């Protein structure tokens, strides 16, 4: 028996693909997918792991508009469309795939702890005790599985304040990114009247003020705020037959703080080879998460003048074309091209990535 804790995208997708044993999927909430605490925008990289049911798509994003503090902006027309999903229904869709794969589900049942007895794991929940061969923690940023296994590590978090709201002057198909507002701020339209609007940062008092300013006079339909883990390159992903996935493993890219695709891809590695799961993850995904973490560090310390300069850099057609063509989930595929073409990025501190991408990340 394999016990999977958490029926979000990472846990459900793993359970939907695991073939080697009886799978039990535990979710502390009575309803999968609620409450929503995510923007629900996916790049074309989702096609690496699954094909999205068209009925889950709320809108499509064809362009990004990046706005500097001065008001200077640049629009990047994407070569590959991004998808804005009904996030609750997306989670439920993946959950159903797990059920279809034979997973036994336990809704409204919270994981408490486990202990080892020989080669078995004794799982204690809010309702019962179970004997399991393996335990998969996909239970979010403050993973109780990680704590119980003693591999929680030194975690840092940011707060994501987001609301689904009626928002004025929306451009359908265009996501707006505001530089200099929190660490990252966005307006993602569902249609010409409704958007998902949010900001992320570590200082809650300052962040709340910036969030309220961003919302302005818009009318909130649903609050979708939540805690987000910062990627930790030293995070342990497994201990014996206990494994971590998704937010529970800090698998979140720090540039835009999205983690759905990383958690799902990591699930495929866990299905493929449990013994070498950590090695596979580090080889295939760790480098891009490290790059995103370093990029976030530089962006957080950029002055208003540097933000404006970056807009000017990306206004150049060759640079804009590179951004339009490549998937932002995997920066290792395009940042060296940018560095080779644009010397000004070196002055902004991004030159560190060249050797790291060609060598080993740390």
Structure confidence by residue, pLDDT tens digits, 25-81? 999 999 999 999 889 999 888 988 999 999 999 999 999 998 988 888 888 888 889
Element at 178 (helix H, strand E): strand 174-178
> Rounded distance, CA 160 to CA 179, Å?
15
Residue with the larger pLDDT of the pair 360 and 132:
132
> Rounded distance, CA 302 to CA 183, Å?
11
> Rounded distance, CA 220 to CA 323, Å?
32
The predicted pLDDT at position 348 comes to 54
Q: Has domain 41-84+156-229 been given CATH number 3.50.50.60?
A: no
* Residues forming a β-bridge with 105: 25
Q: Start-end ranges of CATH 3.50.50.60 in the chain?
A: 2-34+88-154+234-285
Taking only the tens place, the pLDDT of each residue in 279-293 is 999 998 998 898 888
341 pLDDT tier (thresholds 50, 70, 90)? low
Residue linked to tokens 């206990």:
242
Residue with the larger pLDDT of the pair 135 and 21:
135
pTM of the model: 0.89
pLDDT value at 361 more than 50:
no
Q: Tell how strand 174-178 and strand 184-189 pair up.
A: antiparallel
Residue with the larger pLDDT of the pair 219 and 346:
219
Query: Are residues 218 and 204 in contact, defined by beta-carbon separation less than 8 angstroms?
Result: no
Query: Are residues 218 and 167 in contact, defined by beta-carbon separation less than 8 angstroms?
Result: yes
> Rounded distance, CA 219 to CA 198, Å?
14
Question: DSSP assignment of 206-253, as one string?
Answer: HHHHHHHHHHTTPEEEEE--EEEEPP-TT---EETTEEE-GGGGT---
> Rounded distance, CA 135 to CA 132, Å?
7
Q: Start-end ranges of CATH 3.30.9.10 in the chain?
A: 41-84+156-229
- 2-34+88-154+234-285 falls under which CATH superfamily? FAD/NAD(P)-binding domain (3.50.50.60)
In 3-state terms, what secondary structure has residue 66?
strand
Per-residue pLDDT averaged across 296-306, rounded? Answer: 80
Element at 134 (helix H, strand E): strand 134-137
Q: Is the dihedral of CA 46, 227, 135, 96 positive or negative?
A: negative
């Amino acid at each position: 028996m394999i016990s999977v804790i958490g029926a979000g995208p990472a846990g459900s997708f793993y359970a939907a693909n695991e073939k080697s044993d009886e799978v039990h999927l535990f979710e502390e909430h009575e309803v999968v997918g609620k409450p929503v605490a995510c923007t629900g925008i996916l790049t074309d990289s989702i096609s690496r792991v699954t094909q999205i049911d068209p009925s889950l798509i709320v809108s499509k994003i064809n362009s990004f508009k990046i706005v500097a503090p001065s008001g200077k902006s640049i629009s990047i027309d994407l070569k590959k469309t991004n998808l804005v999903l009904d996030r609750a229904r997306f989670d439920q869709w993946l959950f159903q795939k797990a059920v279809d794969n034979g997973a036994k589900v336990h809704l409204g049942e919270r994981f408490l702890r486990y202990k080892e007895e020989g080669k078995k794991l004794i799982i204690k929940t809010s309702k019962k005790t179970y004997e399991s061969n393996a335990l998969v923690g996909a239970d979010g940023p403050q993973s109780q599985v990680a704590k119980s296994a003693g591999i929680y590590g030194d975690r840092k978090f940011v707060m994501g304040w987001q609301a689904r709201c009626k928002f004025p002057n929306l451009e359908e198909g265009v996501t707006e990114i505001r530089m200099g507002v929190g660490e990252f701020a966005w307006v993602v339209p569902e249609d010409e009247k409704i958007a998902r609007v949010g900001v992320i940062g570590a200082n809650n008092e300052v962040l709340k003020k910036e969030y309220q300013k961003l919302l302005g006079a818009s009318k909130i339909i649903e609050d979708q705020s939540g805690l987000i883990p910062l990627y930790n390159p030293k995070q342990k992903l497994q201990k014996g037959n206990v494994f971590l996935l998704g937010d529970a493993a800090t698998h979140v890219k720090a540039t835009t703080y999205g983690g759905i695709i990383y958690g799902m891809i990591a699930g495929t590695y866990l299905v493929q080879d449990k013994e070498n799961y950590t090695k596979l993850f580090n080889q295939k995904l760790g480098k891009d998460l490290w790059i995103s973490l370093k990029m976030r560090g530089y962006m957080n310390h950029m002055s208003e003048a540097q933000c404006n300069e970056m807009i000017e850099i990306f206004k150049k057609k060759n640079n804009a074309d590179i951004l339009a063509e490549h998937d932002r989930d995997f920066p290792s595929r395009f940042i060296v091209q940018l560095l080779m073409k644009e010397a000004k990025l070196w002055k902004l501190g991004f030159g560190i990535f060249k050797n790291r991408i060609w060598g080993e990340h740390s």
